[in-house]
Structure 1
Amino acid sequence: MARKIGSRYTANQILGRGSAGTVWLGEGPDGPVAIKLLREDLASDQELVGRFVQERTALLGLDHPNVVSVRDLVVDGTDLALVMDLVRGTDLRTRLERERRLAPEAAVAIVADVADGLAAAHAAGVVHRDVKPENVLLDMQGPLGPGGAHPALLTDFGVAKLIDSPRRTKATKIIGTPDYLAPEIVEGLPPRAAVDIYALATVLYELLAGFTPFGGGHPGAVLRRHVTETVVPLPGIPEELWQLIVQCLAKAPASRLRASELASRLREQLPLLAGMPPLEVDEPDTEPADEPAEAAGPGEPAAARVRRGAVPLVPGAKPDSNRDTHTSMRVPGPDELAGGARGTARAPRATGAPRPGSARHRAQTRRRRIVLGAATAALLAAVGIGTWLATSGDDGAGPSDTKNSAPASP
């Protein structure tokens, strides 16, 4: 059902829903547009609305081929809406869910596009703060790039900052999507441009591997991994590309590349990646193999055992498997962050290998024990026969034959 947005725009059809609001296909004075209608609780906060309107100049000033441009900001009664360019395509999350992982050439080309968009934003003093596949749009009507990749555009600038208004959250709160949060955000530091680089490197890792480097399980466990663990290498990609990912996932913000540098360095890798198929690697487990999962409650799905078995960092926080949803949690204290083991993050399993503790893994273990037992029995039998032969005479008489022979005459 169509609805008016301000005096100049009409929202005709819902295109999608996110954590901050609903995206509509709309019509304006200059033709089709995308209208992001923000949640009513955001629109009803007058202080927040006034603060967001102050960001209008920065948002309207972002003009780059790899950024979804904001055309207008509408404040009308309970409606707070961003009017944006309409991109004919899909978001990167949808493609990733369909294909699970992308060929390295396509993945790098997409991330290089996004890095170019971030470079323009950072030059204008704007930090995105919520870079993730859901906020990357693929223009299906644009020219194909390396690896058959469609042009990528970053969207939703300013939305994370809107949700993270001081009136809505305190300095002890974290607003963001756990899988992509830079360590300095987890530690309560203000977000700078480097947080976008960390998140984008996480997206690149996810496009290559099919999973994020520190995600999985309880949100608190995810936050801990960002701070305490190092990233697990991905097999089969050029060393220089891997070093780029490692540098952009550095714990220290100053060690990461700037967006323009990242875009340039990634494009240098494209000739080395031409024709390379998607990586063959399975997602790691969400908990250590030596820590049994907690039993699921009555009527609870088996998958809940994994989520509930993960290490909680924030007391009372609930597992959140939807990465499209901002998670609000308090900033963990130094003692909580230091409580986890420092080391390498969850290592990917070899393709086809069973998960530790699974029924397939237990059956495989039983088969190995049976084979080992049979081999041991055969070895013991062989040793016994060898001992019997060693105690026999040259004539082949056994011990019983010697024992029962007649004594010699005196």
Structure 2
Amino acid sequence: MGRKIGSRYTAHQILGRGSAGTVWLGEGPEGPVAIKLLREDLASDQELVGRFVQERTALLSLDHARVVGVHDLVVDGNDLALVMDLVRGTDLRTRLERERRLAPEAAVAIVADVADALAAAHAAGIVHRDVKPENVLLDMQGPLGPGGSHPALLTDFGVAKLIDSPRRTRATKIIGTPDYLAPEIIEGLPPRAAVDIYALATVLYELLAGFTPFGGGHPGAVLRRHVTETVVPLPGIPDELWQLMVQCLAKAPASRLRASELAARLREQLPLLAGMPPLDVDEPDAEAQADEAYEETTPEPREQPPRRGAVPLVPGATPSDANRDTHTSMRVPAPDELAGGARGTARAPRTPGAVRPGSARHRASARRRRVTLGVAGVVLAAAVGAGAWYATSGDDADPAAPDNRNSAPPVP
């Protein structure tokens, strides 16, 4: 027995769950659909329901081949739902977890599709605000593209905007997922189209490397890296592609490309990437990053390292550290940051098991060595003092007394 959603739709089975709600396989007047049913506490928020209705026209008008279309928005009692196209396939996160990293040609083709979707949305005045692999669907029934990639479609348009409001923003500080948040959002500026470009460039970096450029450790540390750190180059990709990525990961929003420009320039790179295998990249020391991030935020010892977290998209999810005290202002990238090569320097060569200089593990090891040397110095100073006292006390002792320092204790 299905669950009725409004008067026109029936939800049959759950396809997936997210922080904002549950996606169901449903049926409508025109056939199968996907129904995203938002959480009940959101449906009871009258402010959100009002925003939901206001955004209806914009979301329904967003029609593009690379966008998962929205057919209807349903407000019925405790039900608040988006009725969308049903895509027969999987999401990009699932593929990434299975393959770890993608061949550059396939990765660039997928990201170019998503850039097309963003170009259409931005032209309609819609900012996605939550671009990440979970929100990219791969149509397994569509024709194969460059590198054997399936057509990519972007979904969940408008969800972040619907849920966000001044009251909710004050409560949660930041809305989004830490690994993909643009610096200007962390700094408290209003989200513009450039935040989607930054997030998409982060997704491309992750597809190529197997990890995001600023991820790992405590969410507060991740947010800080977005604002303060320079992206580490990836070895083995053409210089033109690397410069595209760095430009789209620029701290200053005005330095980034527009979505249409990014899509076109990514497709220009596809012939150079044909047949190139997945990159062999030295992954960062996740455990050491977690140790370092925890040491920065927690003075007390801990039993287990903190897990890599996410800033909640909506209230009620895992709390996050959105401390902005350590953040610096945005800046335009320097020329050396835009430099890269076909054989970049993402990780210095090292022997197996050796610690990479400058890595989190290297810095943690250096701190431990400083502590060890400090303790050793104290012990050495105490030993020298004790030896001097012992020698002096021996000179002052009775000459007739026996010297037992090198003899065994008397047998009783």
TM-score bin (small chain) = 0.7 to 0.9
Give the aligned residue type for 1:74: V
Q: 2:217: which partner in 1?
A: 217
Give the aligned residue type for 1:77: G
Q: Deviations along 1:75-99, whole A, 9 cap, x unmatched?
A: 1111100000000000000000000
Change in CA separation of 1:351 and 1:213 when aligned onto 2, cut-off 3 Å: farther
- Runs of at least 5 residues in structure 2 that lack an aligned partner in the other structure: 299-304, 338-344, 366-412
**Aligned partners of 2:36, 2:100: CA distance in 1, in Å?**
28
Q: 1:164: which partner in 2?
A: 164
Q: 1:63: which partner in 2?
A: 63
**Aligned partners of 1:79, 1:142: CA distance in 2, in Å?**
32
Q: Deviations along 1:268-314, whole A, 9 cap, x unmatched?
A: 000000000000013212476xxxx8xxxxxxxxxxx637636349x
Give the aligned residue type for 2:234: L
Q: 2:294: which partner in 1?
A: 309
Give the aligned residue type for 2:323: P
Q: Deviations along 1:227-277, whole A, 9 cap, x unmatched?
A: 000000000000000000000000000000000000000000000000000
TM-score normalized by structure 2?
A: 0.76
How do 1:268-347 and structure 2 match up within 5 A? 268-286=268-286, 306=291, 309=294, 311-312=296-297, 321=308, 326=313, 329=320, 332-333=323-324, 335-338=325-328
Q: 1:298: which partner in 2?
A: none
Contact 1:60-1:70 within 8 A present in 2 as well: yes
DSSP-derived class of the 1:63 partner: coil
Contact 2:92-2:133 within 8 A present in 1 as well: yes
Give the aligned residue type for 2:32: P
TM-score normalized by structure 1?
A: 0.76
- Runs of at least 5 residues in structure 1 that lack an aligned partner in the other structure: 294-304, 363-410
Matched, 1:95 2:86: no
DSSP-derived class of the 2:12 partner: strand
Q: 2:407: which partner in 1?
A: none
DSSP-derived class of the 1:275 partner: coil
Larger Rg, first or second structure (1 or 2) = 1
Contact 1:218-1:311 within 8 A present in 2 as well: no
Identity %: 81
**Aligned partners of 2:319, 2:81: CA distance in 1, in Å?**
23
Change in CA separation of 1:323 and 1:332 when aligned onto 2, cut-off 3 Å: closer
RMSD: 2.8
Give the aligned residue type for 1:337: H
Deviation, 1:354, is 3.0
Give the aligned residue type for 2:327: L
Give the aligned residue type for 1:125: G
Please say which of residues 158-167 and 233-242 is displaced more in the overlay.
158-167
Give the aligned residue type for 2:60: L
DSSP-derived class of the 2:204 partner: helix
Q: 2:151: which partner in 1?
A: 151
Contact 1:205-1:213 within 8 A present in 2 as well: yes
DSSP-derived class of the 2:296 partner: coil
Give the aligned residue type for 2:326: E
